[in-house]
């Protein structure tokens, strides 16, 4: 029996009004988008980072670099799929992932089930979704962007 391992991932992106919002594997019409080399999906990027961390494979920036043209405009779910492939190639399986979006908008609760389904499909294991605000503090409290934190379990 293998020893379970956990990893943590964090990602933060500022809002970019010129882009559509893609967050937690979903499109959010009418919401400002997030800047980034790919689609800026902070939740998906935190999940990928947590998976790589749990597997001892480094961090997202060292595996999927922002200077690589193949990742320009890539979806967050594609980033997750690439991370999961590396985890599996290392001989590990994903047990589950939990993540939290930190920000004032969008309201995650209204689409929690959709987000969990989309991300569970991308990860190939259960994903649980939560959200919080920072009560007006920091960049998320001022409405300048979104942060996400994730934890992953692999065996």
pLDDT values of the chain reduced to their tens digit, one per residue, 155 residues? 579 999 999 999 999 999 999 999 999 999 999 998 788 999 999 999 999 999 999 988 887 766 666 766 788 999 999 999 999 999 999 999 999 999 999 999 999 999 999 999 999 999 999 999 999 999 999 999 999 999 999 99
Are 144 and 105 a contacting pair, CB within 8 Å? no
Tokens of 53: 């961390």
Q: Is 118 helix (H, G, I), strand (E, B) or coil?
A: helix
Exposure on the CB side of residue 145, measured as CA atoms within 13 A: 16
- Asked if 126 and 96 touch (Cβ cutoff 8 Å), the reply is yes
């Amino acid at each position: 029996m293998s020893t379970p391992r956990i990893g943590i991932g964090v990602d933060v992106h500022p809002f970019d009004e010129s882009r559509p919002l893609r967050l937690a594997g979903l499109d959010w019409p009418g919401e400002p988008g997030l800047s980034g080399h790919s689609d800026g999906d902070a939740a998906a990027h935190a999940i990928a980072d947590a998976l790589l961390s749990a597997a001892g494979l480094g961090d997202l920036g060292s595996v999927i670099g922002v200077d690589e043209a193949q990742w320009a405009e890539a979806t967050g779910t594609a980033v997750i799929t690439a991370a999961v492939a590396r985890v599996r190639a290392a001989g590990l399986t994903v047990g589950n992932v939990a993540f939290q979006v930190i920000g004032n908008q969008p309201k995650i609760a209204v689409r929690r089930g959709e987000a969990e389904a989309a991300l569970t499909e991308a990860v190939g294991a259960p994903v649980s979704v939560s959200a919080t605000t920072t009560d007006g503090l920091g960049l998320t409290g001022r409405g300048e962007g979104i942060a996400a934190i994730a934890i992953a379990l692999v065996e």
